[in-house]
Amino acid sequence: MQDELTDRIADTEVYRRAVGHFRKSGITLPTFGQLIDPTRLDKDLRTAVEAVDADEPAPLNLFRVHWFNDAERKSIAAVPGHVVLPSALTGVAARIIVAIGSRFPMIHAHKVLAAYACLAPRIVTGRFDPTSQRAVWPSTGNYCRGGVAISRILGCRGLAILPEGMSRERFDWLEAWVADKSDIHRTPGSESNVKEIYDACNALAKDPDNVILNQFAEFGNYIVHRAVTGPALEKIVDAVRGDTAWNARAFVAASGSAGTLAAGDYLKERHGTAIAVVEAAECPTLLLNGYGEHNIQGIGDKHVPLIHNVLNTDYVIGVSDRSTDALNVLFNTTAGRAFLARRKGLPAPEIDKLSCLGLSGIANVIAAIKLARYMQLGAEEAVITVATDDATLYRTELEKSEAELAGGPIDEVDAAEIFGRHLAAITTDNLIETTRRDRERMFNLGYYTWVEQQNVSLADFDRRRDQAFWDDLMRMVPAWDRLIERFNAETSGNM
């Protein structure tokens, strides 16, 4: 842990090889400050970035790894992309605000931000040699895609590890981006089989040329979301609120690697915003120390991530994958959209925006509705959440769900049943407002993964109990930015 959180060059020879590699390729790394506020980019750089296709493996796309990409993913927007869901859909008076993750470059998901934050500090501190080492990206789908994209841009080898049961679209993307198809490591099981991913990592780590960037344990993942995603969500809330006095009462995000939840720490510190963690009801790890299997792809479970600031959690909310699968069908089929237009009066532009919700985004929305009901929030209050990816990653999952629901394409009667069962009938089941004892229980549960299985020292594990530990992590942002600026100066020959 201490090695990761360094602001010093650990290996001068590795550092020099990285400088030479980047000098030869002409790659410049963005600072975290530039990702927090991309308007800081100079005019010439912004013009150059706009000329590059957002889905190409172009080094300039590193400067698009932020929340402020516009709808065309070309220019910088004044406010990060977001959707305010109508009450006719949610059934609650409170505003449900969703930040759109699909505007990020290359992978159409915000996990590329976490991937950059985990690898860039290693490069500028001489802890990763892009000329010889391979970056290993364990994931349930989006983080490993982000890692492969970042690796390819930086001219190094990226290996993806993900369960074999993930969506076909994830594997299609990976096969198009990896240097060799052998760089895709399929582990047994599905979304719920995270330990199998760790086992694969431990086997690969025996080769010193493989560097494991485990998003569940990399504090760069926590740091970047608290530093970058938190202020972006704050900007969205400010824009929606306008001149009124209300603020977002809660931030909702699925557990997953717990990186995105760090944005909640930022919002709580600044505005007193409550933090709600979402998990699958079929695998109620935080709710009940439970286990199981589910299809809310991208959220992980059956363990507590090392980078989850559990003791700062206010609510835990369970959401069923039956609901996320069904609402994916409702939001993205002709019959489902026709029902929303004709029977619920949603205008076409509002319906079109629903395609920005992938399965985990739908889970977050359901949880936000549950929490709004539980907190009895009114029209001048809001819950903010995120959609990590969009519906394009789940077309094959949609076909499976349609077949299960209706034996084939649904009609409007099926759509009405889905709406009634999975939206209108949302209650506050599988929701706890955490006590101190609840938080301690969840924290202690992580011991079995990290200390007993993954060899984290007990001292490193326990120091995470103190909120001061998490606050102190943020000193790395200016430290890493100084290192990135120095690295860029050296690679450009300005030192």
Q: What is the pLDDT along the chain (495 residues), one digit of tens a residue?
A: 556 788 899 999 999 999 999 999 999 999 999 999 999 999 999 999 999 999 999 999 999 999 999 999 999 999 999 999 999 999 999 999 999 999 999 999 999 999 999 999 999 999 999 999 999 999 887 999 999 999 999 999 999 999 998 889 999 999 999 989 999 999 998 777 888 999 999 999 999 999 999 999 999 999 999 999 999 999 999 999 998 888 899 999 999 899 999 999 999 999 999 999 999 999 999 999 999 988 898 786 789 999 999 999 999 999 999 999 999 999 999 999 999 999 999 999 999 999 999 999 999 999 999 999 999 999 999 999 999 999 999 999 999 999 999 999 999 999 999 999 999 999 999 999 999 999 999 999 999 999 999 999 999 999 999 999 999 999 999 999 999 999 999 998 665
Distances (CA, A) of 335 to 278, 332, 395, 397, 416: 29, 9, 16, 17, 10
Distance of CA 47 to the CA centre of its chain: 28
Residues 123-136 as b/e (b if ≥16 CB within 10 A, e otherwise) read: bbbbbbbbeebbbb
Residues 408-428 as b/e (b if ≥16 CB within 10 A, e otherwise) read: eebeeebbbbbbeebbeebee
Find the distance separating the first CA and the last CA of the chain, reported in whole Å.
31
Compute the residue count for the chain.
495
Answer positive or negative: Cα dihedral of 126, 130, 133, 139: positive
Residue written as token pair 């608290």: 226
Which SS3 state, helix, strand or coil, does residue 148 take?
helix
Answer positive or negative: Cα dihedral of 54, 115, 163, 309: negative
Planar angle of CA 228, 230, 232, nearest 5 degrees: 70
How far is 42 from 31, CA to CA, in rounded Å? 13
Q: Where are the domains of the chain?
A: 82-104+222-433
Edge-to-edge order in the sheet of strand 274-280:
82-85, 95-100, 382-387, 248-254, 274-280, 315-319, 431-433
Distances (CA, A) of 282 to 162, 278, 286, 289, 320: 20, 12, 12, 12, 6
Candidates 343, 371, 204, 189; CA nearest to 275 is 371
pTM check: above 0.85: yes
Candidates 147, 54, 83, 177; CA nearest to 391 is 83
Candidates 177, 218, 219, 222; CA nearest to 57 is 177
121, 479 in Cβ contact below 8 A? no
Candidates 32, 34, 56, 31; CA nearest to 46 is 34
Query: Which H or E element spans position 181?
Result: none
* CATH class of the domain whose range is 82-104+222-433: alpha beta
How far is 400 from 324, CA to CA, in rounded Å? 13
| Tokens linked to 77 | 């927007």
Torsion angle (degrees, nearest 10) of CA 75, 76, 79, 82 = 50
